[in-house]
Amino acid sequence: MRTTLTLDEDLASKLKAEVRRTGKPFKAIVNEYLRSGLVRRPGNKPLTAFRVKARSLGALRPGLSLTNVGELLDLVEGPLHR
């Protein structure tokens, strides 16, 4: 969609600086920052970081090695796993 937008000077200069920094077109930078701002507007729940809790899976069975994943899959799932 084509539209006319009047920007404050300080905002226009920051957007132009971002264009120079990234090499992206002005239109792409404006769209990127508008999307980003709309996602974070008041009332929207902030995104929480996804965290993975590491846990021990125990010792590897004798005869299995993690250095060759293909061989490990063959031993655990059989040769038809592919």
**Tens digits of residue pLDDT in 6-28:** 999 999 999 999 999 999 999 99
pTM for this structure? 0.48
Residue 2 is assigned to a structural domain of this protein? no
Structural domain count, the chain: 1
Residue 13 is assigned to a structural domain of this protein? yes
Residue 74 is assigned to a structural domain of this protein? no
Domain hosting 29: range is 9-39
DSSP 8: -
pLDDT of residue 80: 73
60 in the Ramachandran plot: left (φ > 0), alpha (ψ -120 to 50) or beta?
beta
Residue 35 is assigned to a structural domain of this protein? yes
